[in-house]
Amino acid sequence: MKALMLSLFAVLAACQTTQSPAAPVVFSLQDMKSGETYDSTVMQVPMVLEFYFNGCPACNSNAPNVAALAEEYHGTAAQILEVSIDCDDDDYASWIRKHPSRAPVLNACDRSLTAELGVRAYPTTIVLDREHKVVYRTTGVWSSAVKTRIKGLLRQQ
pLDDT tens for residues 107-116?
999 999 999 9
Average pLDDT taken over every residue of the chain? 88
Asked if residue 73 belongs to a domain, the reply is yes
Q: Which pLDDT band holds residue 22 (cuts at 50, 70, 90)?
A: confident
Range of the domain at 120: 25-156
Rounded mean pLDDT of 116-142?
97
The pLDDT, as a whole number, for residue 9 is 32
Q: What is the CATH number of the domain that holds 55?
A: 3.40.30.10
The structural domain count of the chain equals: 1
> What is the rounded distance in angstroms from the CA atom of residue 16 to the CA atom of residue 79?
34
Q: Which range (3-7, 60-64, 68-72, 95-99) has the least confidence?
A: 3-7
The four Cα atoms 48, 52, 54, 60 give a dihedral, to 10 degrees, of -70
Fill in the amino acid letter for 91. D
* DSSP-derived secondary structure letter, 24: P
> What is the rounded distance in angstroms from the CA atom of residue 110 to the CA atom of residue 112?
6
pTM of the model: 0.85
